[in-house]
Amino acid sequence: MHSRRTKVVHRMLAAFAITLAASVASAATTVFSDNFDDGDVSDWTLTTSYGGTTFLGVRDDAFVSPGFALYTYLQAPPGGIQLVVRGSRTFEAPVAGDYVLDLFARSSPCSGCTISYDVLVNGVSLDRKFAPLAFEQRTFSLPGLAAGTHTLTLGIHTTNASNGRFSASFDDVVISTTAPIPEPGTWALLAGGLGLVLAAARTRSRR
């Protein structure tokens, strides 16, 4: 009899484990997104290597989807020096795991110089690319990202740009992960289920 009760308890615990695994296995979860359609970039912080005319804002003449795009530009001085104008924003990774950054980006054309869009996470460059014709869709892998606060940086990078206005634009920025992220409500429900399983096990053991 005791062996039968033990088997029943084991089956109940196995069923609970399956339920737990199913509850945390899900499609990609978005942890950050900004399409700039509200026209507000006050939560982005301007950083630059240039003390001249710079701008971090939105524009409505170069967007991927109806609305606005993040817009960074500078008025380059004579001399052809290397310059950057960037916007930074923090995001939260709820669990450690692999993440993906998706966005659209472009840069303005330049004759005799390079104007590149700049993408960084935690100060590490993911790409710096000259793309003057139209927005291009990009996907960047963020493997092994630790849980906690991280910094996304987008902007313009120039070399040999002088006596002109140069820009880079970004749209539909999304960071997501397929790492299991159980919702608080799910944990509470599962904890309650585990309590019922244990209570049933104790009741059976007393019989």
In terms of C-beta distances under 8 Å and separation of at least 24 residues, what long-range contacts does 185-189 make, across chains too? 186/23, 186/24
141 and 71 belong to one structural domain = yes
User: Which residue matches tokens 């599962």?
Assistant: 190
85 and 146 belong to one structural domain = yes
pLDDT on residue 53: 92
Q: Give the Cα separation of 100 and 81 in Å (integer).
A: 33
119 and 104 belong to one structural domain = yes
Q: Which of 38-47, 56-65, 135-144, 162-171 has the lowest mean pLDDT?
A: 56-65
**What total of structural domains would you count in the chain?**
2
Question: Is residue 188 over pLDDT 90?
Answer: no
Tell me the mean pLDDT in the region 103-118.
92
61 and 137 belong to one structural domain = yes
18 and 83 belong to one structural domain = no
Domain range enclosing 21: 2-25+184-206
Question: Is residue 12 over pLDDT 70?
Answer: no
Domain with residue 148: its CATH number is: 2.60.120.260
Q: Which of 7-16, 79-88, 167-176 has the lowest mean pLDDT?
A: 7-16
pLDDT on residue 99: 98
154 versus 20: which is more confidently predicted?
154
125 and 98 belong to one structural domain = yes
109 and 191 belong to one structural domain = no
62 and 142 belong to one structural domain = yes
pLDDT on residue 185: 54
> 150 falls in which pLDDT band (50, 70, 90)?
very high
Question: Is residue 57 over pLDDT 90?
Answer: yes
pTM of the model: 0.77
Tell me the mean pLDDT in the region 120-125.
97
> 146 falls in which pLDDT band (50, 70, 90)?
very high
Angle between helices 184-206 and 2-24 (to 10 degrees): 180
> 195 falls in which pLDDT band (50, 70, 90)?
low
Q: Give the Cα separation of 104 and 67 in Å (integer).
A: 14
Question: Is residue 194 over pLDDT 80?
Answer: no
Nearest to 94 by CA among 172, 176, 39, 196: 176
SS (H, E, C) 13-25: HHHHHHHHHHHHC
193 and 142 belong to one structural domain = no
Q: Give the Cα separation of 145 and 201 in Å (integer).
A: 40
16 and 80 belong to one structural domain = no
40 and 97 belong to one structural domain = yes
33 and 20 belong to one structural domain = no
- For all residues of the chain together, what is the average pLDDT? 83
> 64 falls in which pLDDT band (50, 70, 90)?
confident
Q: How do residues 23-45 score in pLDDT, each as one tens digit?
A: 444 589 999 999 999 999 999 99
